[in-house]
């Protein structure tokens, strides 16, 4: 492990806004019987005030979480990610700027139900999540994850998806149709219709958002509720092979993404 990562991990231990629970404690009774963490149902005590709680799942470096917190100080914000070196940036920024309405949680999103009580969360943001084109259950808008969110999202609470991925956007639309979920807002090109939406949607941008916009990809957005009583089901009208084939090639840090390499190999473009 590099010295810079070690330095960040050490500094993470000093940030009061960053919670790093032990996965071993959560899993003592097995993966399907997660133990609740002590913070569950007590997040506003941790913040020291009563306010709506907004989650960003897969928050990366936390730039979106902190920007939302600065633009909407009336809410408490929690960014969730498993990568400690990434969370370091957001936690350090929140600490240096005295953002008392920001917290970060280092854990796998699969374990999220161990940390939040029924009705404790008012809103969930999914910002540039990995579309997981080859694994439905890994998609953060899959029925499996929606069941988890429903266990702690307040009635009428919104899930807000912001993505460059046509695949994930179309899949999420299909999930909403299959389960009768109320779609409140939706656009295939946020920046061409920005006047229709909350200004923070276009004013607050992530590193990956800027990267993919520079590659010519429109930013898609939708928000929806989980107010459905039955079990969530997978959509029958979504064709993953087709939507993978039209997703488009992307680069990260000058290299093709893994999915782009697969697409090029399938089409015969790869050397």
Phi, psi dihedrals of residue 182, rounded to the nearest 5°: -80, 110
Query: What Å distances lie between residue 170 and 39, 87, 145, 165, 241, CA to CA?
Result: 35, 29, 17, 9, 12
Q: Where are the alpha helices (DSSP H) in the chain?
A: 3-12, 23-26, 43-47, 63-71, 84-96, 143-150, 166-179, 200-203, 207-214, 240-245, 258-267
Q: 12 CB contacts (<8 Å, ≥6 apart)? A: 18, 20, 84, 87, 88, 91, 106
Catalytic, out of 29, 36, 81, 130: 130
* CA 156 from centre of chain: 19
Q: Active site includes 237?
A: no
Tokens standing for residue 168: 């994930």
Residue 249: other Cβ atoms inside 10 A: 14
Tokens standing for residue 96: 């240096």
Q: Which helix (H) or strand (E) holds 163?
A: strand 153-163
Query: What Å distances lie between residue 201 and 5, 16, 191, CA to CA?
Result: 31, 28, 9
Catalytic residues: 130
């Amino acid at each position: 492990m590099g010295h810079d990562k070690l330095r960040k991990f050490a500094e993470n231990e000093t940030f009061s806004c960053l919670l790093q629970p032990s996965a071993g404690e959560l899993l003592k009774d097995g993966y399907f019987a997660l133990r609740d963490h002590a913070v569950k149902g007590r997040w506003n005590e941790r913040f020291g005030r009563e306010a709506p709680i907004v989650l960003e799942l897969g928050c990366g470096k936390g730039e979106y979480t902190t920007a939302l917190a600065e633009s909407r100080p009336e809410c408490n914000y929690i960014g969730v990610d498993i990568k400690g070196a990434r969370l370091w940036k957001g936690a350090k920024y929140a600490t240096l700027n005295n953002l008392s309405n920001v917290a970060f949680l280092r854990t796998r999103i699969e374990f999220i139900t161990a940390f939040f009580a029924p009705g404790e969360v008012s809103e969930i943001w999914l910002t540039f999540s990995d579309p997981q084109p080859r694994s439905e259950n890994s998609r953060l808008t899959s029925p499996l994850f929606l069941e988890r969110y429903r266990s702690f999202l307040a009635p009428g609470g919104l899930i807000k998806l912001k993505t460059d991925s046509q695949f994930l956007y179309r899949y999420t639309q299909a999930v909403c149709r299959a389960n009768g979920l109320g779609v409140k807002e939706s656009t295939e090109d946020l920046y061409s219709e920005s006047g229709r939406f909350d200004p923070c949607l276009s004013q607050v941008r992530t590193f990956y958002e800027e990267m993919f916009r520079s590659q010519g990809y429109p930013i898609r957005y939708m928000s929806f509720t989980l107010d459905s009583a039955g079990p969530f089901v997978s959509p029958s009208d979504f064709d993953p092979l087709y939507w993978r084939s039209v997703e488009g090639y992307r680069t990260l840090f000058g290299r093709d993404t893994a999915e782009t390499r697969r697409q090029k190999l399938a089409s015969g473009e790869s050397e």
